[in-house]
Amino acid sequence: MALVSLRELVTDASRRGYAVGSFNVVNMDTLQAILQAAEENGSPVILSVAEGHFHFVDLDEFSPVILKAAEKARVPVAVHLDHGQTFPAIVKALRSGFTSVMFDGSLLSLEENITRTREITRMAHAVGVSVEAELGHVTGGEGDASPGVADPSLYTDPKEAAIFVQKTEVDALAVAVGTVHGIYKGKPELDIPRLARIREATQVPLVLHGGSGLSDADFQAAIANGIAKINVYTDMSQRAMQKIRSVDTLPQETGFPEFMCLVKEAMQEAVTEKMQIFGSVGKATGFGS
């Protein structure tokens, strides 16, 4: 068990028809909440650190802690750089021992995105690290507080996706098919036929970013049409905030570490619910076989 690459995780997920949740680590409490949920549910999991969260998570200090926890876990775990936007961040993650990196060149031209992603895959694959890239653009920032809507003009084009995957040799591809990062304003509508065409054209495990506001049925339709990794942050963060807002209802003598355990439990519940929806519960058993 323990530390595996993203490629191993998404290959198993694609083969057995589920999706692996990728949850953002922003501190020790999130790390423990995610791993506890994964172990209790026998679920493979991805611990991801976003480049945009480097001000919360100093990789030099914290990646040894994350990697140690991943190695000790009784379930398969990948340690992943989420939304790497700069070359130094990618190199730093590789050097820190991450087993997977995402390069997000989704705001670049197709040609430039291919060139830069290709550079990353050559480097990462040479040291056994998987690469996720993004084509089309999922709007909204990581942990963005302002609600947004998806922009169909930025959706992933299946023909471009085929060229992109063939030229870059990425292990997983994040697609834009109707979600946004952060909170969705109104109700998101997934473009499932487009997703099916992308899968058909690329034959690579696909990744869904920005799942907030989707129904269980939406997630299941996405998984049935090629999504093998789903990123979760907003739901977990919101659940922690709900608990924090309830602090006045607790007995006066509640101490800080006791209170933080309650916050952790709330996040753990949010992670568990996602694992149940994604179908990853129990999949540590028989993994990769």
- List residues binding Zn ion (CB under 5 A): 209
Select the residue whose beta carbon is closest to Zn ion and give its number. Answer: 209
Q: How far is the CB of 138 from Zn ion (least distance, A)?
A: 6
Question: Which residue of the set 82, 171, 191, 235 is catalytic?
Answer: 82
Nearer to Zn ion, 164 or 287 (CB): 164
Backbone phi, psi, residue 284, to 5°: -65, -30
Q: How far is the CB of 104 from Zn ion (least distance, A)?
A: 7
User: What tokens were used for 221?
Assistant: 């339709």
Nearer to Zn ion, 36 or 85 (CB): 85
Nearer to Zn ion, 209 or 229 (CB): 209
Backbone phi, psi, residue 47, to 5°: -95, 115
Helix (H, G, I), strand (E, B) or coil at 260: helix
Q: How far is the CB of 140 from Zn ion (least distance, A)?
A: 8
Nearer to Zn ion, 56 or 259 (CB): 56
Helices (H), the chain: 6-16, 28-40, 59-72, 87-96, 110-126, 158-168, 192-202, 216-224, 234-245, 256-278
Integer Cα distance of 57 and 263 in angstroms: 19
User: What is the amino acid identity at position 210?
Assistant: G
Does residue 58 have an active-site annotation? Answer: no
Q: How far is the CB of 82 from Zn ion (least distance, A)?
A: 6
Assess contact for 259 and 245: CB atoms under 8 A.
Answer: no
Length of the chain measured in residues: 289
Q: Which residues are catalytic?
A: 82
